[in-house]
Amino acid sequence: MRGPRDRSGSGLPPALVGDLLSGLVLVGAGANVVWQLSHPAVGHAVAAEPVPEGSLRRHPGRRTRTTLAYLAVCLVGTDAECRALGRAITAEHRRVRSAREAPVPYDALDPGLQLWVAACLFQGAIEVLSALTPDPVPEADLDALYRHAARLATTLQVPAAAWPADRAALARYVAAGLASARLDPVTRVYLREVLDLTAFPWPLRALAPLSRALAATFLPPHLREDLGLDLSADAERRLRRGLRQVARVHRHLPPVLRALPFSWVLADLRRRLRAGRPLL
């Protein structure tokens, strides 16, 4: 098995696609979840778990598979694959709506909330890539990637015109949102469970200290404090140095290993499409 082939017609450099859809980019996954859920409405919508089968607490494997498949399909999938997965996710999102008396109102079909999540996904992946890859990605390639990555938003209910005009505009949008974010008790408790890996089997739970350290590395100080994540400057430098060493080794792995787990979830989704089975 090779890495995920780009069937989207984007024309993006295969090396860039390979870096984005590689296990390495997942070192920023915990921090990215915090970014997304730092928006109060997103945080309360996810923590409330109104769709049991999509719950991270109850079905961590399913929830993780869906998220990874969405990233992979938006980057390298065909338009038809994007539409199919978008319809499936939209059907679940219709059930994610706050009650009238909820302290924080939310609606998963709100394009504004979907734009925030998509922007965090893109910006977070780029920041991890920049931190771990030895050579800077050419600006023209990043611009092409940015235009194509609008599908992270437009595959759901976000109109194309709402995607910020360029990478700088999106970076400002995310930075402003994070700067003003504060975690309330509901979101804080949920995110601590996420970073502590409490929903996963015990062998993975043993990685909770690493999970928390990785998240802290890619979080702004005030969100670290909100979550009680204590990572010294020296510890962060050592961790970043170690990650860069891992990245150097990772780039020399066979494509089948570099592409995991994205290649697996994408192949699974395509099998489901061919068989007419549910995608989620």
Q: What is the pLDDT of residues 124-154, one digit of tens each?
A: 999 998 888 877 889 999 999 999 999 999 9
Q: pLDDT averaged over the chain?
A: 92
Show the domain range for 238. Answer: 14-275
**4 inside domain:** no
pLDDT tens digit sequence for 175-190: 999 999 999 999 999 9
Q: Is residue 280 domain-resident?
A: no
pLDDT of residue 2: 60
Structural domain contains residue 160: yes
Q: Which pLDDT does position 57 carry in this prediction?
A: 76
pLDDT in tens, 112-127: 999 999 999 999 999 9
Helices (H), the chain: 14-20, 29-37, 40-48, 60-76, 79-93, 111-132, 139-148, 151-154, 167-179, 185-195, 202-205, 208-217, 221-227, 233-250, 255-258, 262-275
68 within domain boundaries: yes
Q: What global pTM score does this model have? A: 0.94
In a domain, residue 223? The reply is: yes
Question: Residue 216: its pLDDT value, please?
Answer: 97
Give 59-97 pLDDT, tens digit per residue: 788 888 999 999 999 999 999 999 999 999 999 999 999
Domain annotation covers residue 26: yes
* Per-residue pLDDT tens digits for 221-274: 999 999 999 999 999 999 999 999 999 898 888 888 899 999 999 999 999 999
d(CA 17, CA 22): 9
- pLDDT digits 0-9 by tens, 190-229: 999 999 999 888 888 999 999 999 999 999 999 999 999 9
Q: How confident is the model at residue 50 (pLDDT cuts 50, 70, 90)?
A: confident
CB 12 within 8 A of CB 141: yes
Q: Is 70 exceeded by the pLDDT of residue 1?
A: no
The tally of domains found in the chain comes to 1
Question: Phi-psi category of 49—alpha, beta or left, where left has phi over 0 and alpha has psi -120 to 50?
Answer: left
State the pLDDT at residue 54. 64
